[in-house]
Amino acid sequence: MEDGMKYRHSAAQSTEYLRLAVKQMTQHAAGMHPASYTVWYEYVSGANPALRAELDSLLQGGVRLGDEEIHDLYSRHISELDARTALRIGDSVSQLVSHVSESTAVAGDEAERFGSSLARWNEELVDPATGGDALASGVEDILRGTRQMQKAVSTLKLRLAESALETERLREEVARAREEALIDGLTGLSNRKGFDLALATCLDELLPGAAGPCLLMIDLDHFKRINDSLGHVFGDRVLANVGQILRANVKGKDTAARYGGEEFAVV
């Protein structure tokens, strides 16, 4: 969703929503970070009805929201179209253009065949033995219109071919953006969102009665001590090395992810 298109509040409205959002943030355990602010801003402004309905239910139950709950709400109600939806849209658009192109090609072929038939009829009608000059003139007009139609269809076919190429390029960009959005930049593993998607896909594909997926959760002991004593640069190298080890030891449909901080997961 485009923020510029979604938020159309005046400066005065935005200021008031800011005050209300911060008031809500101070009443909960989650940190004062952008995700938390966005959740509460959309709640108090009424910009996101589905989010507001779920938050109202949670608040009525007396729930005090922490970072985990806030990030979950942000992921499900605010973040960009999830990867599966984005890819599905790209595939659908590509398929639609392909079908339209095929239909146009068929129409062009039919127009060409019709034009050829009319040309043959015209040759027969102008034969002196038939004396069909007047009728031949009418057929000539039809031929002229048919040629114009063929030209228009040819132009349309060309433009649709160009559109198909552009649509395919956009679909590839969506797929590439999808992959980048699901990768942790430091370790090269899936990030939390990528892990959640992989787990959801695994559960969706699970056949009745089949054994469920195996989940491995990993937490690096004393990692804070490493950061404090050796520095964050060294700590990042440790995380990157752990990512390399996990990538080297998973295979097939396994998904290794950096779940957050020094936490890793494999499914």
Residues 135 and 108 grouped into a single domain = yes
Residue 134 has pLDDT above 60, yes or no: no
Residues 101 and 165 grouped into a single domain = yes
Confidence of residue 1 (pLDDT cuts 50, 70, 90): very low
Q: Is 140 a known active-site residue?
A: no
The domain boundary residue, chosen from 29, 59, 77: 77
Confidence of residue 155 (pLDDT cuts 50, 70, 90): confident
* Lowest mean per-residue pLDDT among 87-96, 109-118, 199-208: 87-96
The domain boundary residue, chosen from 23, 51, 77: 77
Residue 233 has pLDDT above 60, yes or no: yes
pLDDT digits (tens, 9 = 90+) for 11-50: 778 778 888 888 888 889 888 887 788 889 889 988 888 8
CATH label of the domain that carries residue 230: 3.30.70.270
The parent domain of residue 177 ranges over 83-181
pLDDT > 90: percent of the chain: 15
Residues 196 and 154 grouped into a single domain = no
Residue 242 has pLDDT above 90, yes or no: yes
Mean pLDDT of 165-187: 72
Of the residues 69, 124, 140, 262, which is catalytic? Answer: 262
> Residue 265: how many CB atoms within 10 A of its CB?
23
Residue 187 lies in a domain: no
Residues 61 and 102 grouped into a single domain = no
pLDDT digits (tens, 9 = 90+) for 48-85: 888 899 999 999 988 889 988 888 888 777 765 455 55
CA distances 154 to 30, 106, 142, Å, are: 60, 11, 18
Give pLDDT, residue 84.
56
Average pLDDT, the chain: 77
Q: Is the pTM of this model over 0.95?
A: no
Total count of domains within the chain: 3
Token pair 């402004």: residue: 45
* Lowest mean per-residue pLDDT among 141-145, 187-191, 252-256: 141-145
Residues 158 and 209 grouped into a single domain = no
Residue 186 lies in a domain: no
> In sequence order, what DSSP letters do the residues of 223-267 get, joined into one string?
HHHHHHHH-HHHHHHHHHHHHHHHHHT--TT--EEEEETTEEEE-
Residues 215 and 258 grouped into a single domain = yes
The domain boundary residue, chosen from 181, 216, 251: 181
